[in-house]
Amino acid sequence: MKQIIPVTVFCFSIILLSINGLPKTHDTCLVLYIFDGDTIQVQIDDAKETVRLIGIDAPEIKHENKSGQFFGEESLKYAKTLLQAKTIRLERDSLCADRDIYGRLLRYVYIGDILFNAKIIEDGYAYAYCTFPFEKKAKFLELEKEARRINRGLWAAVTEGINQKNQNQVNSQNSSITSTTDSSCKPEFVASKKSRVFHHRDCELVKSISQRNLLFFNSYEEATHSGRRPCKVCRGTKEGAIASKNATKTPK
């Protein structure tokens, strides 16, 4: 009878494990180092362990032989602000292995009652990483969707970048034109490859010419010999170019 009880308890434990998956651990530990937004190093008892946070993918930062990804430094700074030198709690997921193929612990990270894995997605500094199953997958996807909807963190930068992409290209072109034409040693007259009109380099309408279509002439005669006529706004002169600042027409 004495031998039956231990065996029964052991079998019951095996059944519970098969139903509930791997047991969760709640290790309290100190954060020693933060590699990026989804990978940290911690001290557990006498051992140092690298922890890969479950369910998130933070942008990579620049390494010696690897270029960084968009918003990587911002994500790292965010993680450092919340985790650096903090005492945290680690928790396993019953659907995940204990370690990944690189030997890193796979864990949820809690700061008090705050689940950092969820918060970094919610605030827009990491993506939901759903290649492998985990218990909080649906929640993390919803957090990412909401962060994207309200333009938080990297999503705000992405949206702003898309909205300003064309404007940035125009600004770059205008800057290039200005740097090319504001010196007395540079060609004084400018035209577009697609136009039969030429301008004085200070003409306001020069800014609307695409950089790839720019043509330069060293003299008024050279410009006219190309078969082009002076711009009706600046008339091909510096004096006329000053008046062009109030013009709204674009070169034809």
Three-state SS string across 100-132, please? CCCCCEEEEEEECCEEHHHHHHHCCCCEECCCC
CA distances from 52 to 91, 182, 187, 204 (A): 12, 54, 58, 55
The rounded distance, in Å, linking the Cα atoms of 121 and 34 is 17
228: annotated active-site residue: no
92: annotated active-site residue: no
Given the residues 60, 74, 122, 144, the one annotated as active site:
60
Given the residues 52, 107, 201, 228, the one annotated as active site:
52
Contact between residue 179 and residue 197 where contact means Cβ atoms under 8 Å apart: no
Given the residues 91, 99, 104, 146, the one annotated as active site:
104
Contact between residue 63 and residue 57 where contact means Cβ atoms under 8 Å apart: no
104: annotated active-site residue: yes
Which amino acids are annotated catalytic?
52, 60, 104
